[in-house]
Each structure stands twice: as C-alpha cells, then as structure tokens.
Structure 1
Amino acid sequence: MTEAPVARSGRERSVLVVGEALVDLVPAEGGAGVRVAQPGGAPANVAVGLARLGGRASFVGGIGDDAFGDTVERWLAGAGVDLSLSARPALPTALAVADPGVHGNTYRFHLGDTATFALPDRAAEAGRFGAVYAGGLAAVVEPAAAVVAAVAREAARSGLLAVDPNVREDRTLDPVRSLGRLRELCALARVVKASDEDLVRLWPDAAPEASCRELAERGRLVVMTRGERGATAYVHGAPAVSVPARPVRVVNTIGAGDAFMAGMLTWLGAEADWSTELTAERTKAMLEYASGAAASVCAQAGTEPSAPLGV
C-alpha cells in the first residue's frame, strides 16, 4: 500500500517551478481533425500537480495577455499555485499542437514572440524554497533559457535543484544547443528525472541505464521512467530500485511524466525533508507514489493528478 505523504508546511514543503505555461491543442475525443485548447507546458503541469497533491508550488513564468493567457492563469490559480513571481507581458501565449501516438506524443510548436518565454528573473528567490524545478522548453528557448539557467545555478548553490530535461524535437529548436543546455542542467541538479527516450537523445552513445549510473555516481538521485514498463531509481553505491507501472486503462498520456515528477517532489518534500539519501525501501515508496500520480493522469482526460491511495 502506498500512503499519501504526510502534510507539512513552511519552506521545506515549498517548490519553485520555473518554465513555460502554454496552451496545448489536443485531439478532441471522437472529432477527426478537431483540436481542443488545453492549458499545459511541462513546468506548469508540474506546478499544478504539486498543488493538487498537497504541496506548495510557486510558478515563475510568462503568462500571455490574450484569452489563452486568461485560461492558463485561471487554471494555475484555481489549483492553488502561487503566481506572485510570474509576469503577464503584453504578448500572446505560445501554442503546442499535440499528436498522441502509440509510441508517445509528438508536438509542433508556435513559440516566437510570445509571453510564454518572457520569464522574469527570480534567481534571487531560489533560496527561499525547499526545492527548485527546471526543465522543458523554457530551458532551451530564449530569452527564457538564460533566466532558467540563472535560477538553476542559484538553486544548485543554495538548495535542491530537480531537473526533468523533457527533450523536445521541433523545427523551431536548435538540437545541438538545446541538448547542450539540458545536459548542463542535469549536471547542476541533485535530482534528475528523465524518460528512457530523453536519455537516448541526450547521450546517444550510451545505453540509458549507463547514463543513469554515470549521473548517479556524481551524488545525484536519478530516476528513469519507461512508460508502461515502469520506473527505476539509481543512487551512488547501491543497487537500482525498480517498480512496475500501475495497471490502468489508458485514456491519455499527455502530462503523465509531469505528474510523475510532481509525485516525486511531493514525496521528497513531505517524507524525506528533501534528502536524496534514501534506503531501498524508501526509494521504492517514492517511486510507487510517483507512479500512482502518473497513472491517475493516464486514466482520465487532462493533466491534473490525484493522490494515489494504494497499489
């Protein structure tokens, strides 16, 4: 049985999430060629997931001054995410056109000259939080990328930095520069969560497991997710710990990885006081909780997780 984390309060429970909030255009149920607007963006999904799972999330992002931006703002604030460190520049919201498939989701992005990547620099705030999350498109798209890097460097110096590289491939992105920036973020982090596909893209000359062990040997907690094949955690000097994916009738996979990350951070803040030195038993408990959060998203439309009650 996987118990929900014990509620805590104060700095140790709070997470600063830095990155993009945009709108996903996703296929409408039963509507061939029809797309429905859904607020998203990996960091925004993580912030909402943290709030829905009982954590305290503050979001640093640029929210558009259009109708899509209004939708994004209502979604974040409605979940309980603190937006006091975000900004609403006079620019439109970025769009991501999603094409779910049997081998995962692909996207086409409309990013240029949008509020989504006009992030305010909040590096000075990083030390006020128990953990800082970074990753996603904002880590590789300017001018946001410079802000994300500055916040990440400060978080690595003053506390716990958690990174999900969330590698995206698109005609609008420079693959060499993008992958380099994501590798730099992983090098700064104390916690790295990455899919097996992310790891292959970041380090194509190594097996994903080997890349995880290399990262873990430098003192990190590294978690590799493999979709329906479950997840594995790696820490220095200990055997890897794996859990299967929770069985569920899959309705949607968009946001499942973000829900997993939100579950990990919720558990680490509530149950481990942000320590990454975990026993095998506690590592398994963390993975089971995160897997349950991801499964709750897969079982429904939308990207908001619910707290798992058991296996």
Structure 2
Amino acid sequence: MTDVPGAAPEPVPGPGAVLVLGEALIDLVPTADDAEARLAQPGGAPANVATGLARLSTPSWFAGALGSDGFARSIERRLVSAGVELGLCARPDLPTALAVADPGPEGTGYHFHLQSTATFQLPRRTDVERFAAVYVGGLAAVVEPAASAVAATASAAAAGGPLLVVDPNVREDRTIDPRDGARRLRELCELGQVVKASDEDLARLWPDSTPDETCRRLADGGRLVVLTRGSRGSTAYTGSAEPVSVPAVRVEVVNTIGAGDAFMAAMITWMVSRGVHPGGAREFTPALAEEMLGFASRVAASVVAQAGTEPSLPAHA
C-alpha cells in the first residue's frame, strides 16, 4: 500500500499473523421464542473466521469494509472484543449488508440484501508477504467490487509468500450470478494451497463430478483439500495418499450457523502454529491430517453446542 503524507503508519503484523479478506455483515436469524422474529447477529464467513482465529489465540487481521450505521458498530465491537486487528479495514459511508437466515432440515439458507452497501468496498492487499497465511472466500469472492480485490489478493499470495487458504462457501441468491460466481470460486480453489469445502459447495461448483472425485483432482495438484460433511465428519486429501476421515464430535445440536467457519479457523490455527508453509501442503502425512481434522472438529463442536458462533479451544488442544 502507498503511504499517505501525515497519515498514521499501518500497524505491522507479527509472526504467525493471518490476513482474512472478505465480508462482515449482519445475519438476521430466527429467535428461539418467536419464529416470526429475527435477531440481528454479526456474521459473514470471513468475519466469523477472523473472530474464530482471534478466539483461538492466532493473530488475526481483518481486511474488510465497515460501514457507518449501527450494524457496523455492532460488528466492530464483536471483532475488537475478540482481539481482531482492524487497521486494514476500509470505512465507507454506507450501510451494512444483511443476510436473512432461513434454517431448515437440510441446513441454513440465506436471502441477501447486498446492493449499495459498505460491505463489499474492500481494499486491495498486495503486501501479503507480511502474513503467515491469507484466507479468502465467502460472498466477497463473487460480489463486485469486492470480488476483484479478492482475486488480486489471492493471486499475490499464490505468487509467493503466505499460505493461501480458500473456502468457497457457495451461496445462492437472486442477486448473485450463479455462472460467474461459480467460475470465480473455481479459480480461487485452483489457486489455493489449502482448500476447505463442504460436499454441497463442491456439488455446486463441479456438478459433473462427485465431491470425492473433485477433492482427489484438486489434491493431485499438490493441495491439501478438506471435505466437510456436517454431522458425517470430514476428510483430508493429500495428493497420492489415501484420504483420511475423522467423525464429527457428537454433541447436542443447538446451532449450526458458524460451525464451518469455526472449523476453518481451527484448521488455520493448527497449520500456522506448526509452521506449515505454502509447499507444506504436499507434506501432510495421514497422521498429521488426522490430528488437524480432530482438532478442527472439536472446535466446530464448541459452536454447534451453543447458541452463538464464537468457538473455543478444546480442553485438550
């Protein structure tokens, strides 16, 4: 980034810091007492990941955009209270995007209010070499003008430096072009050294292949690929080695919103704490993959077993 005369210098990330690029928005979720009422809850997959990283004691830098309304102030309070660094955020004078959650037996669907909001006015980050890892994904990867910023930042990370971690987190809505969005997410997955995706994500992005076939193909390119299946657990694909599967931790389900983001934050925390570098995705042994998946599953379970979306470290991390 270019220094502005008279402006305060940007804070410098320390060792092991993770850059999270993407949206922070408001989820409107049904309340337990009244099916017709909606609770405004800070969300957005990247903001959830940034918060989760900080809650897991991983230095977390959120490069998003925070607007000028009361919702933006709620989002900022949540991020700051978790310990997320916001010095790289844009601050446009616009309202915050809304996602209306619609939980059902097959998962949670969303209807979005995105246009003319601050949420997607993302800064472009090309100085990614200062970070141990860069996370991209979510709505910001497919909604302009954020999508161009995400693509540029991901390309800079893939060219050398940090570990590029991609979670496509596919969302469908009348305001999102399904073909263009799928193309952008496929390109990000091909760039990433680590890809975490649900079986539903992969079925939407590569409908002509099974999720297992897609994971094997992506892993053959030297990536670490993790497939999540909700209550059916997760599987890691590491090149020519046989996939490694770990069951989901059994808990009484209170909430599923944010569980996948907690799993992602736990994966990144595990990799950064062990110094996994961009080429290190090729070096995952089955034992390491099993250890990482087990840790991430326990962290995700801490979200599923409560009403909120804030993860916590397992008792035996």
**TM-score computed with the length of structure 2 as normaliser:** 0.93
Structure 1 Cα separation of the partners of residues 138 and 202 of structure 2: 14
Structure 1 Cα separation of the partners of residues 174 and 28 of structure 2: 18
Match of 2:83 among 69, 76, 80: 80
SS of 2:273 mapped into structure 1: helix
Aligned-pair Cα RMSD in Å: 1.1
Structure 2 Cα separation of the partners of residues 242 and 290 of structure 1: 12
Contact between 1:21 and 1:40, CA under 8 Å: does it hold in 2? yes
Task: Name the aligned partner's letter for residue 281 of structure 1.
Answer: A
What are the within-5 Å matches in structure 2 for residues 170-249 of structure 1?
170-249=173-252
Match of 1:43 among 19, 39, 46: 46
**TM-score computed with the length of structure 1 as normaliser:** 0.95
Structure 2 Cα separation of the partners of residues 285 and 179 of structure 1: 31
Give the Å deviation of 1:309. Answer: 2.1
What do residues 250-272 of structure 1 show as CA deviations (whole Å, max 9, x unaligned)? 00000100000000000000124
Q: Does 2:156 align with 1:154?
A: yes
SS of 1:69 mapped into structure 2: helix
Structure-2 change in CA distance of 1:240 and 1:259 (3 Å): same
Structure 2 Cα separation of the partners of residues 22 and 205 of structure 1: 33
Q: Does 2:291 align with 1:291?
A: no
Match of 1:119 among 108, 119, 122: 122
Structure 2 Cα separation of the partners of residues 177 and 81 of structure 1: 31
Task: Name the aligned partner's letter for residue 294 of structure 1.
Answer: A
Structure 1 Cα separation of the partners of residues 24 and 275 of structure 2: 29
Task: Look up the match of 1:3.
Answer: none
Q: Does 2:132 align with 1:130?
A: yes
What do residues 93-133 of structure 1 show as CA deviations (whole Å, max 9, x unaligned)? 0000001111111000000000000011122x211000000
Task: Look up the match of 1:266.
Answer: 269
Give the Å deviation of 1:273. Answer: 3.3
Match of 2:28 among 18, 22, 25: 25
Structure 1 Cα separation of the partners of residues 125 and 155 of structure 2: 12
Spell out structure 1 runs of 4+ moving beyond 3 A: none
What do residues 125-147 of structure 1 show as CA deviations (whole Å, max 9, x unaligned)? 21100000000000000000000
SS of 2:87 mapped into structure 1: coil
Structure 1 Cα separation of the partners of residues 137 and 243 of structure 2: 24
Task: Name the aligned partner's letter for residue 214 of structure 1.
Answer: R
- How many residues are aligned here? 301
| Percentage of matched positions with identical amino acids | 61
Give the Å deviation of 1:310. Answer: 4.2
What do residues 70-91 of structure 1 show as CA deviations (whole Å, max 9, x unaligned)? 0001111110000000011100
Structure 2 Cα separation of the partners of residues 200 and 310 of structure 1: 34
Structure 2 Cα separation of the partners of residues 59 and 244 of structure 1: 31
Q: Does 2:311 align with 1:305?
A: yes
Q: Does 2:55 align with 1:63?
A: no
SS of 2:189 mapped into structure 1: helix
Structure 1 Cα separation of the partners of residues 14 and 77 of structure 2: 25
Structure 2 Cα separation of the partners of residues 254 and 197 of structure 1: 15
Structure 2 Cα separation of the partners of residues 160 and 39 of structure 1: 27
Task: Name the aligned partner's letter for residue 294 of structure 2.
Answer: E
SS of 2:214 mapped into structure 1: helix
Structure 2 Cα separation of the partners of residues 244 and 122 of structure 1: 37
SS of 1:116 mapped into structure 2: helix
Give the Å deviation of 1:11. Answer: 4.8
- Higher RCO (Cα < 8 Å, 6 or more apart): 1
Structure 1 unaligned blocks of 5 or more: 1-9
Contact between 1:191 and 1:221, CA under 8 Å: does it hold in 2? yes
Contact between 1:126 and 1:132, CA under 8 Å: does it hold in 2? yes
Contact between 1:89 and 1:118, CA under 8 Å: does it hold in 2? yes
Structure 2 Cα separation of the partners of residues 190 and 54 of structure 1: 23
Task: Name the aligned partner's letter for residue 274 of structure 2.
Answer: E
Contact between 1:12 and 1:269, CA under 8 Å: does it hold in 2? no
Structure 2 Cα separation of the partners of residues 208 and 273 of structure 1: 25
Structure 1 Cα separation of the partners of residues 104 and 266 of structure 2: 24
Task: Name the aligned partner's letter for residue 59 of structure 1.
Answer: F
SS of 1:13 mapped into structure 2: coil
